[in-house]
Amino acid sequence: MTSVHIPQIGSLPVSRLFAIQILIIQILVIVVGTGLPRPVWAEPATDSLTHSATAQDPPRPPAWGQAELAGLITDSKLSEISGLVASRRHADTLWVHNDSGDGPVLHAMSYQGERRATLTLENTGSRDWEDMAGFRLDGREYLLIADTGDNGGLRSTLSLHIIAEPDQIADARTTPAWSIHFRWPDGPRDCEAVAVDVQAGIVLLIGKKRSPPDLFSLPLRPNDDHIQTAEPIGLLAGIVQPTAEDLRRNPRFGRYRSQITGADLDDSGLLLAVLNYRRAHVYPRRPGESWGTAVARAPIEIPFPWLPQAEAIGFDAQGTLWIASEQRPAPLLRLPRRH
Protein backbone atom coordinates (compact mmCIF):
# COMPACT_ATOMS: atom_id res chain seq x y z
CA MET A 1 0.00 0.00 0.00
CA THR A 2 1.33 3.40 -0.94
CA SER A 3 1.96 5.56 2.09
CA VAL A 4 0.52 9.03 2.18
CA HIS A 5 2.40 11.83 3.91
CA ILE A 6 0.11 14.12 5.89
CA PRO A 7 1.93 17.32 6.85
CA GLN A 8 1.59 18.68 10.34
CA ILE A 9 -0.57 21.76 10.62
CA GLY A 10 2.27 23.74 12.14
CA SER A 11 4.41 23.13 9.04
CA LEU A 12 1.88 24.54 6.58
CA PRO A 13 2.25 28.11 5.32
CA VAL A 14 -0.45 30.59 6.34
CA SER A 15 -1.88 30.73 2.81
CA ARG A 16 -2.44 26.97 2.75
CA LEU A 17 -3.91 26.99 6.24
CA PHE A 18 -6.34 29.69 5.12
CA ALA A 19 -7.33 27.65 2.05
CA ILE A 20 -7.83 24.52 4.15
CA GLN A 21 -9.99 26.45 6.61
CA ILE A 22 -12.21 27.71 3.78
CA LEU A 23 -12.49 24.17 2.34
CA ILE A 24 -13.48 22.75 5.73
CA ILE A 25 -16.17 25.41 6.18
CA GLN A 26 -17.54 24.72 2.69
CA ILE A 27 -17.71 20.99 3.37
CA LEU A 28 -19.41 21.56 6.74
CA VAL A 29 -22.03 23.83 5.24
CA ILE A 30 -22.74 21.45 2.36
CA VAL A 31 -22.81 18.29 4.46
CA VAL A 32 -24.61 19.68 7.49
CA GLY A 33 -26.87 21.94 5.47
CA THR A 34 -28.19 19.16 3.27
CA GLY A 35 -28.89 17.09 6.35
CA LEU A 36 -31.03 19.62 8.15
CA PRO A 37 -34.37 18.28 9.33
CA ARG A 38 -37.50 19.66 7.78
CA PRO A 39 -39.05 22.39 9.91
CA VAL A 40 -41.93 21.20 12.07
CA TRP A 41 -44.36 23.61 10.40
CA ALA A 42 -43.54 22.14 6.97
CA GLU A 43 -44.55 18.60 7.94
CA PRO A 44 -48.01 17.20 7.14
CA ALA A 45 -50.52 17.80 9.91
CA THR A 46 -51.12 14.99 12.38
CA ASP A 47 -54.37 14.26 14.17
CA SER A 48 -53.27 16.41 17.08
CA LEU A 49 -52.86 19.41 14.79
CA THR A 50 -56.09 19.25 12.81
CA HIS A 51 -58.34 20.98 15.34
CA SER A 52 -60.17 24.16 14.43
CA ALA A 53 -58.32 27.42 14.87
CA THR A 54 -59.00 29.24 18.13
CA ALA A 55 -58.08 32.64 19.49
CA GLN A 56 -55.08 31.03 21.19
CA ASP A 57 -53.62 29.58 18.01
CA PRO A 58 -50.63 31.43 16.54
CA PRO A 59 -51.04 32.73 12.99
CA ARG A 60 -49.96 30.29 10.32
CA PRO A 61 -46.33 31.17 9.60
CA PRO A 62 -44.45 30.97 6.33
CA ALA A 63 -41.72 28.37 6.05
CA TRP A 64 -38.08 28.74 5.14
CA GLY A 65 -35.97 26.36 3.11
CA GLN A 66 -32.70 24.84 4.19
CA ALA A 67 -29.74 27.13 4.67
CA GLU A 68 -27.69 27.80 1.56
CA LEU A 69 -24.08 28.96 1.41
CA ALA A 70 -24.32 32.33 -0.35
CA GLY A 71 -20.62 33.09 -0.02
CA LEU A 72 -17.58 33.20 2.20
CA ILE A 73 -16.61 36.41 3.95
CA THR A 74 -12.83 36.69 3.72
CA ASP A 75 -12.16 40.44 3.72
CA SER A 76 -9.91 41.48 6.60
CA LYS A 77 -12.20 44.46 7.30
CA LEU A 78 -15.15 42.12 7.91
CA SER A 79 -13.76 39.91 10.65
CA GLU A 80 -16.26 40.63 13.46
CA ILE A 81 -19.65 41.14 11.81
CA SER A 82 -22.29 41.67 14.49
CA GLY A 83 -25.02 43.57 12.64
CA LEU A 84 -26.66 43.16 9.22
CA VAL A 85 -29.35 44.85 7.11
CA ALA A 86 -30.46 43.77 3.64
CA SER A 87 -30.74 47.02 1.69
CA ARG A 88 -34.13 47.96 0.25
CA ARG A 89 -32.56 50.77 -1.77
CA HIS A 90 -29.72 48.92 -3.51
CA ALA A 91 -29.93 45.47 -5.13
CA ASP A 92 -27.52 42.74 -4.03
CA THR A 93 -26.39 44.74 -1.01
CA LEU A 94 -26.06 43.98 2.67
CA TRP A 95 -25.04 46.66 5.15
CA VAL A 96 -22.91 45.27 7.98
CA HIS A 97 -20.80 46.51 10.86
CA ASN A 98 -18.17 44.98 13.08
CA ASP A 99 -18.10 44.58 16.82
CA SER A 100 -16.31 47.02 19.13
CA GLY A 101 -12.90 48.31 18.05
CA ASP A 102 -13.64 49.02 14.38
CA GLY A 103 -14.63 52.67 14.66
CA PRO A 104 -17.94 54.24 13.55
CA VAL A 105 -18.14 52.61 10.12
CA LEU A 106 -20.61 50.56 8.09
CA HIS A 107 -19.61 48.36 5.18
CA ALA A 108 -21.64 47.60 2.07
CA MET A 109 -21.28 43.93 1.12
CA SER A 110 -22.60 41.88 -1.80
CA TYR A 111 -24.85 38.85 -1.42
CA GLN A 112 -21.70 36.77 -1.94
CA GLY A 113 -19.85 38.38 0.96
CA GLU A 114 -17.62 40.76 -1.03
CA ARG A 115 -17.02 44.18 0.51
CA ARG A 116 -17.92 47.06 -1.81
CA ALA A 117 -17.73 50.32 0.15
CA THR A 118 -17.25 51.87 3.57
CA LEU A 119 -19.55 54.47 5.12
CA THR A 120 -18.08 56.48 8.01
CA LEU A 121 -20.35 58.10 10.59
CA GLU A 122 -19.10 61.47 11.79
CA ASN A 123 -19.86 63.02 15.18
CA THR A 124 -20.75 59.56 16.42
CA GLY A 125 -19.08 57.27 18.93
CA SER A 126 -18.75 53.52 18.52
CA ARG A 127 -18.14 52.16 21.97
CA ASP A 128 -19.70 48.78 21.24
CA TRP A 129 -21.92 48.53 18.16
CA GLU A 130 -23.85 45.27 18.37
CA ASP A 131 -26.73 45.28 15.88
CA MET A 132 -28.47 47.34 13.22
CA ALA A 133 -31.90 47.59 11.62
CA GLY A 134 -33.36 49.05 8.45
CA PHE A 135 -36.73 50.76 8.03
CA ARG A 136 -38.70 53.05 5.73
CA LEU A 137 -40.17 56.26 7.15
CA ASP A 138 -41.87 59.09 5.26
CA GLY A 139 -40.72 57.67 1.93
CA ARG A 140 -37.05 57.40 2.93
CA GLU A 141 -34.89 54.39 3.81
CA TYR A 142 -33.00 54.57 7.10
CA LEU A 143 -30.42 52.49 8.95
CA LEU A 144 -30.36 52.28 12.75
CA ILE A 145 -27.11 51.35 14.51
CA ALA A 146 -27.28 50.09 18.09
CA ASP A 147 -24.39 51.11 20.34
CA THR A 148 -25.76 48.89 23.08
CA GLY A 149 -23.05 46.35 23.92
CA ASP A 150 -22.20 46.15 27.61
CA ASN A 151 -20.44 42.91 28.48
CA GLY A 152 -19.27 44.27 31.81
CA GLY A 153 -22.62 45.78 32.81
CA LEU A 154 -21.03 49.19 33.36
CA ARG A 155 -22.79 51.57 30.96
CA SER A 156 -25.40 53.88 32.46
CA THR A 157 -26.61 55.21 29.09
CA LEU A 158 -26.57 53.78 25.57
CA SER A 159 -27.30 55.11 22.11
CA LEU A 160 -29.10 54.33 18.87
CA HIS A 161 -27.96 56.27 15.81
CA ILE A 162 -30.19 56.66 12.74
CA ILE A 163 -28.81 57.62 9.33
CA ALA A 164 -30.43 57.99 5.92
CA GLU A 165 -29.33 55.16 3.65
CA PRO A 166 -26.91 56.56 1.04
CA ASP A 167 -28.04 57.10 -2.54
CA GLN A 168 -24.96 55.36 -3.93
CA ILE A 169 -22.72 52.47 -2.92
CA ALA A 170 -19.35 54.21 -2.61
CA ASP A 171 -16.94 55.23 0.13
CA ALA A 172 -18.53 58.20 1.86
CA ARG A 173 -19.10 60.04 5.13
CA THR A 174 -22.38 60.91 6.80
CA THR A 175 -23.88 62.16 10.05
CA PRO A 176 -26.89 60.82 11.97
CA ALA A 177 -30.32 62.16 11.10
CA TRP A 178 -31.09 61.72 14.81
CA SER A 179 -29.92 59.71 17.81
CA ILE A 180 -31.75 58.15 20.73
CA HIS A 181 -29.99 58.04 24.11
CA PHE A 182 -31.51 55.76 26.71
CA ARG A 183 -31.09 53.76 29.88
CA TRP A 184 -32.54 50.48 31.12
CA PRO A 185 -35.23 50.69 33.82
CA ASP A 186 -33.47 48.35 36.25
CA GLY A 187 -29.76 48.87 35.71
CA PRO A 188 -27.18 47.97 33.05
CA ARG A 189 -27.55 44.97 30.77
CA ASP A 190 -25.99 43.74 27.54
CA CYS A 191 -28.07 44.05 24.35
CA GLU A 192 -27.10 42.74 20.91
CA ALA A 193 -30.51 42.55 19.21
CA VAL A 194 -32.71 45.38 17.91
CA ALA A 195 -35.51 45.76 15.35
CA VAL A 196 -37.74 48.63 14.23
CA ASP A 197 -41.54 48.44 14.14
CA VAL A 198 -42.36 51.47 12.00
CA GLN A 199 -46.12 50.97 12.21
CA ALA A 200 -46.00 51.14 16.00
CA GLY A 201 -43.30 53.82 15.97
CA ILE A 202 -41.02 51.85 18.28
CA VAL A 203 -37.61 50.23 18.47
CA LEU A 204 -37.57 46.71 19.92
CA LEU A 205 -34.57 45.67 22.02
CA ILE A 206 -33.77 42.23 23.45
CA GLY A 207 -31.46 41.58 26.38
CA LYS A 208 -28.68 39.09 25.70
CA LYS A 209 -27.84 37.25 28.89
CA ARG A 210 -31.05 36.84 30.89
CA SER A 211 -33.31 33.80 30.81
CA PRO A 212 -35.93 34.11 29.54
CA PRO A 213 -34.72 36.97 27.32
CA ASP A 214 -36.49 40.25 28.04
CA LEU A 215 -38.06 42.46 25.38
CA PHE A 216 -38.12 46.25 25.63
CA SER A 217 -39.30 49.15 23.51
CA LEU A 218 -38.26 52.74 22.89
CA PRO A 219 -39.95 55.46 20.83
CA LEU A 220 -38.47 55.65 17.34
CA ARG A 221 -38.93 59.43 17.28
CA PRO A 222 -38.78 60.73 20.86
CA ASN A 223 -40.53 64.01 21.57
CA ASP A 224 -37.38 65.50 23.08
CA ASP A 225 -33.62 64.98 23.41
CA HIS A 226 -33.81 63.77 26.99
CA ILE A 227 -32.46 60.36 27.95
CA GLN A 228 -35.25 57.85 27.38
CA THR A 229 -36.03 54.85 29.57
CA ALA A 230 -36.62 51.54 27.80
CA GLU A 231 -40.02 50.04 28.61
CA PRO A 232 -40.27 46.30 29.37
CA ILE A 233 -42.99 44.73 27.24
CA GLY A 234 -42.50 40.97 27.43
CA LEU A 235 -40.39 37.85 27.83
CA LEU A 236 -39.38 35.60 24.93
CA ALA A 237 -40.78 32.09 25.23
CA GLY A 238 -39.21 28.99 23.78
CA ILE A 239 -35.51 29.91 23.80
CA VAL A 240 -34.00 26.57 24.75
CA GLN A 241 -31.25 26.92 27.33
CA PRO A 242 -28.00 24.92 27.33
CA THR A 243 -28.37 21.34 28.44
CA ALA A 244 -26.06 19.36 30.68
CA GLU A 245 -24.73 17.72 27.53
CA ASP A 246 -23.95 21.14 26.02
CA LEU A 247 -21.97 22.05 29.12
CA ARG A 248 -20.18 18.70 29.20
CA ARG A 249 -19.15 18.87 25.54
CA ASN A 250 -18.06 22.50 25.72
CA PRO A 251 -17.33 23.48 29.32
CA ARG A 252 -15.93 26.88 28.33
CA PHE A 253 -18.53 28.18 25.86
CA GLY A 254 -21.52 25.83 26.11
CA ARG A 255 -23.33 28.08 28.59
CA TYR A 256 -23.44 30.90 26.02
CA ARG A 257 -25.16 28.98 23.22
CA SER A 258 -28.64 30.38 23.83
CA GLN A 259 -27.72 34.05 24.33
CA ILE A 260 -29.50 36.40 21.93
CA THR A 261 -27.13 37.97 19.38
CA GLY A 262 -29.35 39.54 16.71
CA ALA A 263 -32.88 40.36 15.58
CA ASP A 264 -34.87 41.79 12.69
CA LEU A 265 -38.45 42.49 11.62
CA ASP A 266 -39.76 41.61 8.15
CA ASP A 267 -41.45 44.14 5.85
CA SER A 268 -44.94 43.13 6.99
CA GLY A 269 -44.07 44.01 10.57
CA LEU A 270 -45.54 40.68 11.67
CA LEU A 271 -42.48 38.42 11.86
CA LEU A 272 -39.73 38.97 14.42
CA ALA A 273 -36.56 36.96 13.79
CA VAL A 274 -34.29 36.36 16.78
CA LEU A 275 -30.82 34.80 16.57
CA ASN A 276 -28.61 33.00 19.02
CA TYR A 277 -25.46 30.96 18.54
CA ARG A 278 -27.29 27.72 17.79
CA ARG A 279 -30.43 28.58 15.77
CA ALA A 280 -32.81 31.26 14.55
CA HIS A 281 -36.31 31.79 15.92
CA VAL A 282 -39.27 33.58 14.35
CA TYR A 283 -42.18 34.97 16.38
CA PRO A 284 -45.31 35.55 14.24
CA ARG A 285 -47.70 38.28 15.37
CA ARG A 286 -51.34 38.88 14.45
CA PRO A 287 -52.30 42.32 13.09
CA GLY A 288 -53.09 44.55 16.05
CA GLU A 289 -51.55 42.16 18.56
CA SER A 290 -48.92 43.40 20.99
CA TRP A 291 -45.37 42.12 20.79
CA GLY A 292 -45.57 41.12 24.43
CA THR A 293 -48.37 38.70 23.55
CA ALA A 294 -46.68 37.45 20.37
CA VAL A 295 -43.36 36.55 22.00
CA ALA A 296 -45.12 34.73 24.85
CA ARG A 297 -45.90 31.92 22.37
CA ALA A 298 -43.29 29.36 21.38
CA PRO A 299 -41.45 30.53 18.25
CA ILE A 300 -40.74 28.80 14.99
CA GLU A 301 -37.28 27.26 15.30
CA ILE A 302 -35.04 27.48 12.24
CA PRO A 303 -31.85 25.38 12.34
CA PHE A 304 -28.78 26.25 10.33
CA PRO A 305 -25.32 24.71 9.85
CA TRP A 306 -22.48 25.43 12.24
CA LEU A 307 -21.12 28.97 12.19
CA PRO A 308 -18.05 30.20 14.08
CA GLN A 309 -20.05 32.85 15.98
CA ALA A 310 -23.50 33.68 14.60
CA GLU A 311 -24.21 37.32 15.50
CA ALA A 312 -26.13 38.97 12.65
CA ILE A 313 -29.51 38.25 11.04
CA GLY A 314 -31.77 40.15 8.68
CA PHE A 315 -34.76 39.77 6.34
CA ASP A 316 -34.58 40.94 2.74
CA ALA A 317 -37.58 42.27 0.83
CA GLN A 318 -38.59 38.73 -0.25
CA GLY A 319 -38.57 37.42 3.32
CA THR A 320 -35.31 35.50 2.88
CA LEU A 321 -33.25 35.35 6.06
CA TRP A 322 -29.55 36.23 5.92
CA ILE A 323 -27.19 35.14 8.70
CA ALA A 324 -23.57 36.20 9.15
CA SER A 325 -20.90 35.35 11.67
CA GLU A 326 -17.93 36.84 13.40
CA GLN A 327 -14.42 35.50 12.65
CA ARG A 328 -12.84 35.04 9.25
CA PRO A 329 -13.35 33.29 6.91
CA ALA A 330 -17.03 33.01 7.79
CA PRO A 331 -19.93 31.53 5.81
CA LEU A 332 -22.70 33.88 4.72
CA LEU A 333 -25.96 31.92 4.87
CA ARG A 334 -29.29 32.56 3.18
CA LEU A 335 -32.53 30.79 4.09
CA PRO A 336 -35.07 31.37 1.30
CA ARG A 337 -38.68 31.87 2.26
CA ARG A 338 -41.21 29.45 0.79
CA HIS A 339 -44.19 31.39 -0.54
Answer yes or no: is pLDDT of 312 > 90.
yes
Which of these ranges, 48-52, 174-178, 242-246, 305-309, has the smallest mean pLDDT? Answer: 48-52
- Report residue 231's pLDDT band, with 50, 70 and 90 as the boundaries: very high
CB atoms within 10 A of CB 299: 22
Asked whether 64 and 336 are in contact (CB, 8 A), the reply is yes
R_g over Cα of the chain:
20
Least confident among 36-50, 176-190, 303-317: 36-50
Sign of CA dihedral 226, 229, 233, 239: positive
What mean pLDDT is reported for the chain? 85
Q: Among the residues of 164-215, which ranges form H helices?
A: none
Torsion over CA of 96, 102, 103 and 108, rounded to 10 degrees?
-20
Kindly report the pTM of this predicted structure. 0.84
Backbone angles phi, psi at 199, to 5 degrees: -60, -35
Cα maximum dimension of the chain: 79
**Over the range 15-38, which residues count as b (16 or more CB within 10 Å of their CB) and which as e?**
eeeeeeeeeebeeebeeebeeeee
Q: Which CATH architecture does the domain made up of 14-35+63-338 adopt? A: 6 Propeller (2.120)
Q: Of 68-77, 81-90, 121-130, 224-233, give the lowest mean pLDDT range.
A: 121-130
**Residue 55 pLDDT class (50, 70, 90 cuts):** very low
Non-local (6+) Cβ contacts of 269 within 8 A are 197, 198, 199, 200, 285
The predicted pLDDT at position 239 comes to 96
Alpha-carbon gap, residue 320 to 263, rounded angstroms: 14
CA distance 307 to 145: 23
Q: Measuring CA to CA, how many Å separate 151 from each of 82, 125, 130, 189, 294?
A: 14, 17, 11, 8, 28
The helix or strand, by DSSP H or E, that contains position 284, with its residue range, turns out to be: strand 279-284
Q: Determine contact, residues 270/284, Cβ cutoff 8 Å.
A: yes
